[in-house]
A and B are shown apart, each in its own frame.
Chain A
Amino acid sequence: MIGAIRSELTRLTQPRHLLTWFGLMALFAAMVNTIMVTFVSGGGSLPPGAPGVAFPTLAQMESPSGLMSGLAAASSMFGVVTLSFWALATATDYSSGLIRLLVAAEPRRWRLLAAKVVALALVTAVATTVASIVNVLVVMPAAGAAGIATTAWGTDLLNVVASAWLHLYVAVCVWGVIGLAIATLARSAAVAISVGVGYLLVVESMVKMLKDVPSDWLLGTTLGAVASGGTSAVSFGAALTLALGYAAFGLVAAGVVYIRRDVTD
């Protein structure tokens, strides 16, 4: 199993691939933090149900957890980036024909899939760390320049940073599992990314606009709540349970298809 994970890591560590992945995570961290600080310091707020991001209030920003609030604000964007790269790593095995070689070398397909999930989760940990570092590097000078009080940010620093990192990491890993599952079903990264982005930006936003329909259970909302460590509408425990349910469903669906389907191309 260790060999299968190392094999998958070797394939994942293409410099251009990693640079794009980490670069996008850094870009979104920088972008969302800059916009967030501008909005919050100006007293502005996003309309309810706005897709992709959710900004804190000024009081939340000035609290100890305000330092890392950009991670939760951009969690959907990080999620889409992660979904895309998990989908790419999965679908490329099919489109390149590499899946034939892999299954012939390791016919226990569950091992291949498990190794892929573990390897992608390891790279995602690095990507989450990159986003966290950029978040801190951008939000501190931006908040200072915007006049947001940052004196509380040093309180319980390690706990704040670690929990924000962990919450985001869990959330984006579930996004990744969804990407892997769709890519396994569709055998296409393009389809998986389109479905993921389309769902978040279109379907989920439309459902949220329907006032009579509860939206707390939706994937983006749930994972946003996990990344935020819970919200006023959904507790962290409930969000985490539901998120793990989504992940388990995705993994089981991907596993059944991956293991049982003929490798014909």
Chain B
Amino acid sequence: MAIITTTGLTRRFGPITALDGLTLDLPTAGVIGLVGPNGSGKSTLIRILLGLIRPTEGAATVLGLPITNPAEYAARVGVLIESPAFVPGLSARANLVSLARLRGLPLARVDAVLTQVGLNGRDGEPVKRFSLGMKQRLGIAAALLSDPELLILDEPTNGLDPAGIVEIRELLRDLGRNGRTVVVSSHQLSEIEAVCDHLVVIRFGKLVFSGPMAEMLKRTREHIDIAPEHAGDTDRLAAALTEDGWAVAVVDDVLRVTASISRSADLNRAATAAGVTLRRLELAQDNLEEIFLEMTGRTDGELASGRAAANGTVAA
């Protein structure tokens, strides 16, 4: 059973279409990455699923229940939406107690989640004294409070130090392995690649990709990065290789040749034939970030043009 389904989900804010007929099914259990450029509709999707805003058109279900009545599934869903929000003058514990009371949970859960996110010992301090990373931990604790089947976390590692990132990454993996479904919305693609089993890519409110992470990573291409001994030979070598039929792109004084590693000797010979000695020859492979940028646009300018085209207007 899909834990989240959407059918033709659309949300317009005036002339802006934040979600444009989004249809997707998210599998139950595991960690699901939700990625897309700024303004792609990720936050709008999350808000609709949680009952914070209503769709203009379309339908959706969460845990098999329609989003028209989020009260039916709210107790089974834990959330961290954007930056963690708490009452700054209250202690971490008091903030969690307040949420536990609202959800009708036993206060023992407060101790359990404080331990789970490593905030025991600091729980008596007012939240206003917390660093961003500690607030983030508290936000995750609040999301875990009801021991939910579905966790929706927006940028969960935001502000955490490297050790904290590893810790939270492990926590998310454990939750995913233990039968829960964790939806992680993030711009940290390395994080998504490291943690997620399933990936959803949204752009301009439309689905670009939804499938297992492994399937997405199959789209990676191999490159051979080469650099001539003398930087002045770069353009000449690029021209010679292109004429020879190689696919070449110049990236920061390095020639990126789209070819498998098995052709590296041929490439070296081609460079020699062009009268250029190489000082570097290195295999490179696209990561998730490269594929993502290829799918969604590389620069703000490309995104602005795409957004304008999607909304039927002319980009400035």
Contacts and interface: CB of A to CB of B under 8 A. Distances in A.
Interface of A is mostly: helix
B142 A101 contact: yes
Contact of A264 (B53, B79, B85): B53
Contacts of A97: 81-83, 85
Contact of A96 (B53, B79, B88): B88
A264 B47 contact: yes
A100 B82 contact: yes
Contacts of A92: 87
Contacts of A107: 50-51, 69-71, 74
Given A16-B89, A96-B85, A104 B52 contact: yes
Contacts of B54: 262
B74 A98 contact: no
A7 B102 contact: yes
B89 A3 contact: no
A233 interface: no
B99 A104 contact: no
A59 interface: no
A32 B83 CA distance: 45
Query: Chain A: interface residue count, which band?
Result: 20 to 34
Given A16-B89, A97-B85, A98-B87, A105 B52 contact: no
Contacts of A106: 71, 74, 102-103
Interface residues of B, number: 30
A21 to B, nearest CB: 13
B102 A3 contact: yes
Contact of A14 (B47, B79, B81, B87): B87
Interface stretch (B90-98, B161-169, B175-183, B276-284): B90-98
Interface string B43-62: 00001001111100000000
B130 interface: no
B103 A103 contact: no
A213 to B, nearest CB: 41
A262 B71 CA distance: 16
A171 to B, nearest CB: 28
B159 to A, nearest CB: 15
A16 B81 CA distance: 28
Contacts of A100: 50, 52, 79, 81-82, 85
Nearest to A16: B89
A4 B102 contact: yes
Interface of A: 3-4, 6-8, 10-11, 14, 16-17, 92, 96-108, 262-264
